Amino acid sequence: MSDAQSDARSDTQRDQRQRHGLGGVVVATALPYYEKASAPAGLAVDYDRYAEHCQWLVDQGCHGVGPNGSLGEYAALTETERRTVARTAIEAVGGSGTVVVGVHGAGSHQARYWAEAAAQDGADGLLCLPPTMYRANRGEVLAHYEAVASVGLPVMVYNNPVDTKVDLTPDLLAEIAQIDNVVAVKEFSGDVRRVLEIRERAPGLEVISGADDVVLESLLMGATGWFAGFPNVFPAESALLFELATSGKPAEARALYEPLVAAFRWDSRTEFVQAIKLGMEQVGRFGGACRPPRGPLTPAQREQVEADMSRAVAALQQRTL
């Protein structure tokens, strides 16, 4: 590919990114359940409560929602539940926010299946891990994303090397970015040095912060979005943090961010789903239980989450006085 062709492709991808708006604060939504003996693990998805939560997040200033991510426990859902969750989010948010549906799958045929379903149901974009449950090589990763992107919706690839054992390094992302309809990467390696390197190697690719506890650092280095966990707990404050960080007010952003980071660190821990649901309970929202394999927090973990959350809540209350 010539330099001129490469520049033209980058311009096209940048136009796609701006048109489809996968940046901003998109919340990886937690999923509520209610007890029902006949449901998997005795827990049935509470779709009405989930719809209310999605709409509340957007009403609080977040730019959109992301159903069927890891935080949404997609792997613990039946096929019917998984599709209904996506449809519920799309119907709840409507045109008031962006809906980026998780289409993660063990193979490209499975990920494409979920991508096609999301397209049929009216999703704005797709979030996709590399092949799950298998350490795919470079060629397999590219083929995986080519299959998903062929559906036609904007694709945000998801780099989570801890869980998938596949690292979407900046040089690999430069190749992935050449695939039509791939417009963004959710970067969850925790290495904020990558933000600039990705922008250098793949200038048409939008970099989205995926880890709550490095979000400010990532935004100050040029990330244009936050695919987030703790905005389930603090949506308005998270939207404000994003605005401050991206509008040339780093000191104000830091003052808001620092007392929240201890809670935000739970987003990068194994028990992040349980911790975020407990955080929701502490601010008066419904969190509830998780399906297996996720069990309850240990007493020590629960105590620490409550302490970290209490510090965050107290700091936010102090700001309003």
Q: How far apart are the first and last CA of the chain?
A: 58
Domain containing residue 89: CATH number: 3.20.20.70
Q: Is 254 within a domain?
A: no
Q: Is 78 within a domain?
A: yes
Mean pLDDT of the chain: 93
Q: Is 274 within a domain?
A: no
Domain count, the chain: 1
d(CA 230, CA 211) in angstroms, rounded, equals 10
Q: Is 104 within a domain?
A: yes
Confidence tier at 90 by pLDDT (50, 70, 90): very high
**Residue 269 region by backbone torsions, left for phi larger than 0, else alpha for psi between -120 and 50, else beta:** beta
Q: Is 281 within a domain?
A: no
Over residues 105-155, the pLDDT tens digits come to 999 999 999 999 999 999 999 999 999 999 999 999 999 999 999 999 999
pLDDT of 15 strictly over 90: no
Average pLDDT over residues 304-314: 97
Tell me which amino acid residue 263 is.
Answer: A
pLDDT of residue 64: 97
Enclosing domain of residue 37: 3-247
Question: Which DSSP string do the residues of 11-56 spell out, in sequence order?
Answer: HHHHHHHHHHT--EEEEE----EEE-TTSGGGEEE-HHHHHHHHHH
Q: Is 315 within a domain?
A: no
pTM of the predicted structure, to 2 decimals? 0.92
pLDDT of residue 321: 65
Residues with Cβ < 8 Å from 65, sequence gap 6 or more?
26, 27, 29, 54, 57, 58, 89, 93, 97, 98, 99, 100
pLDDT of residue 17: 35
> Which residue would you say has higher pLDDT here, 46 or 19?
46
pLDDT of 10 strictly over 50: no
> Which residue would you say has higher pLDDT here, 277 or 17?
277
Q: Is 17 within a domain?
A: yes
pLDDT of 318 strictly over 70: yes
Q: Is 128 within a domain?
A: yes
